[in-house]
Chain A
């Protein structure tokens, strides 16, 4: 049992960190624009494919640096020439713009790289076992994912709270007009933040690509869960995104590990159902089986009981 708990914790933290890499950028953009960027996971996918392509030519490490820069630049362009123009027509137009963009990116990726998974592998320098715990091997690559995510969190936190640029971004989030009055170029701040946000998503893509599967539906698989992280964590709150990512990573991993069913829970309260009773099928469903929907359940509960999220300062 202890073994399962420790291994699940490691797996959960790792998954949570991967979520955080993407959610950190998304939550910044969300609070700036006031709309969800539906295409955020598409930039993560682009990161994975750019990383794959570059690593074939230049090797993994240069790809890890160059791919996010390219994707970030692409993101900045999308903000400058796409979103900023659409912004005039209100939030709905922006929302639809990012929604459409996600489809465009998916189609383009399918045209360039096909619909099948590409052969994106863990670099040989990280392809070994880092440590063994209870006879379960922990790959070095996963440890690398974990450390990268933590490093990025630390750097982001420092930049946002301790530097001048960070202070301007924070001010622009809440009082854009005032910041503009003081002589700062607010649209450019937004563009840079958008670029950095999408670049971070690309970092997540380059790193997650070899560990998961690099294929044209990877954005669709991770996209929805990102929104859960942002809403649960609270608007524009980096610490919130961090906590929510960890929470969801752990919840989902532990849910898989649990074999408790609704019937078992009822039995605790003394209610026993005959196996052929009405609804008996439903009570036999285990928590493990419904693990994938648990985060969405959390989303619904948070929206009902704490709409501003765990660490948010204003209503969603």
Chain B
């Protein structure tokens, strides 16, 4: 009797496994590995919402090659070791596309892990698609065939930012404050180098590195910036590090211009409004809500309507996903070995209307970059940020071809 039952169970089990295996073939699993807790969570969580939004859109239109797109979220706590555990979990769950963005330290670990994994597991290759880790080394000294980056790397952003600063003669004294890890260090060295070339008259009155995502009160740093007499601050801070930095500046009433990479992230606009720094905080983006391009505005409106007013932060995630899906469709296969070559050199019209291309030599995507400021909404500025009544405004545009910097990458292609 019991044997009969166990036999029935065994058959049922095999049936279940078979249907699970079938189910796997019908879905395209994309693992999202990013901070979903801790100091990076405020941006990591919103990133996940972007991916899920895009997946829902694509699935509503029948998916990719008939496969349903499924986003699996993994919390890496902005910690490289934790991230590798999560990537392994994602691979075990059947994902062959790993998306990550927040934290170049994490990005470098994943890039290295994926390259080794692919070497050791032929036939099971995975690909790492990077939407925000901007340490230049990921597409230079450490470049890998299995890594593609859609955000402009830090050098490109600094090039654009300093080109803009060149047009602002009022800047005399600059203070640098950055996170103490690979990315923050590259921001400070590039800022020094490029300012020395473009504006040798600018004096650098401070150069600070602080622990990554650990500071909850930046008042001591603001006191120091104030004492230095700086009229402008350059920072690559992201996540809570930019929001709290701006908040402390607002509390202390520091009046300085801010040249940032990520002032638009969670909490940033609120602090800018509180400090009353109208048009004095600049950020580097590849697109922004008030850009005068109808399709992007339409998408922004839909996105906000669906996600409770959350603004669309990452046009690059839309660029990335549409290119990956196109590559899969062109290759007629979700196998990274087959679709990765299609990504190399691919040209698209970006989310914000410009021309963009994926350079084959280092797998870096190039696109138009914009310098934006935050201030009271004027005519033809329909969108505000974080219900402050203030929104983004175009301050300067750098066309894609002017952002193309040389690479030192010596790409090892699989034979």
Contacts and interface: CB of A to CB of B under 8 A. Distances in A.
Interface in A251-293: 252-253, 256-257, 259, 288-289, 292
A289 B209 contact: yes
Nearest to A208: B216
A23 to B, nearest CB: 17
Contacts, number: 84
The contact size tier of chain B is: 20 to 34
Interface stretch (A28-36, A49-57, A86-94, A133-141): A133-141
Main secondary structure of the interface of A (DSSP, over half): mixed
Nearest to B252: A136
Interface stretch (B25-33, B39-47, B344-352): B39-47
Contacts of B221: 256
Interface in A210-256: 211-213, 215-218, 221, 252-253, 256
Contacts of B180: 289
B176 to A, nearest CB: 13
Contacts of A129: 253
Contact of A217 (B39, B252, B266): B39
B192 to A, nearest CB: 14
Given A116-B42, A139-B251, A213 B216 contact: yes
B214 interface: yes
B219 interface: yes
A11 interface: yes
Interface stretch (A1-9, A155-163, A172-180): A1-9
Given A137-B251, A288-B208, A115 B227 contact: no
A15 interface: yes
A4 B252 CA distance: 13
Nearest to B240: A213
Contacts of A211: 217
B37 interface: yes
Most A CB contacts (10 A, CB to CB) among B45, B209, B220, B251 go to B220
Interface in B181-225: 206, 208-211, 214, 216-217, 219-221, 223-224
Given A117-B240, A217-B37, A136 B226 contact: yes
A110 interface: yes
A125 interface: no
15 contacts: A12-B220, A115-B75, A116-B45, A117-B240, A117-B266, A129-B253, A142-B251, A215-B41, A221-B216, A252-B220, A256-B221, A256-B224, A257-B224, A288-B208, A289-B209
